[in-house]
Amino acid sequence: MAEPKLTKAAIIESLHEKHGLNRSDIHMIIDEFFEEVKEGLKHDQVIELRGFGTFEVRTRKGREKARNPKTGAIVAVETHGVAIFRPGKELKDYVWDLRDNKPIND
């Protein structure tokens, strides 16, 4: 069984309930935040959010022989950028013990 998801809509609702802010204003701020992160990554900037983590783009080397997992066909893949996230120490520490008492779902 899949773990429950925290969606953008749920975050907006939570912030609305906690702070009484207008939902459309919260939605706009969240969307603008994501746009700033995407623009920074597009311009090869490292996005560092202290206490949370770091977003950056890494280059994956292209290959002549890669396999399409859906069709099994062999295809060439060009060198391309990949967005990665590295959690910060505070986030790592915060989630470290969360799964201690939960069974691992395989």
Q: In this predicted structure, what is the pLDDT of residue 59?
A: 95
Whole-model pTM over 0.85: no
- Pinpoint the alpha helices (H) of the chain: 8-19, 23-42, 89-95
CATH architecture assigned to 46-101:
Irregular (4.10)
pLDDT tens, residue by residue, 76-105: 999 999 999 999 999 999 988 876 666 555
CA-nearest of 47, 15, 42 to 29 is 15
pLDDT tens, residue by residue, 35-79: 999 999 999 999 999 999 999 999 999 999 899 899 999 999 999
Tokens, residue 57: 């783009």
Handedness of CA 27, 29, 35, 37 (dihedral sign): negative
Is the distance from CB of 53 to CB of 37 less than 8 angstroms?
no
Domain ranges of the chain: 1-45, 46-101
Chain centroid, CA 84 distance in Å = 8
Q: In this predicted structure, what is the pLDDT of residue 55?
A: 97
Q: In this predicted structure, what is the pLDDT of residue 25?
A: 97
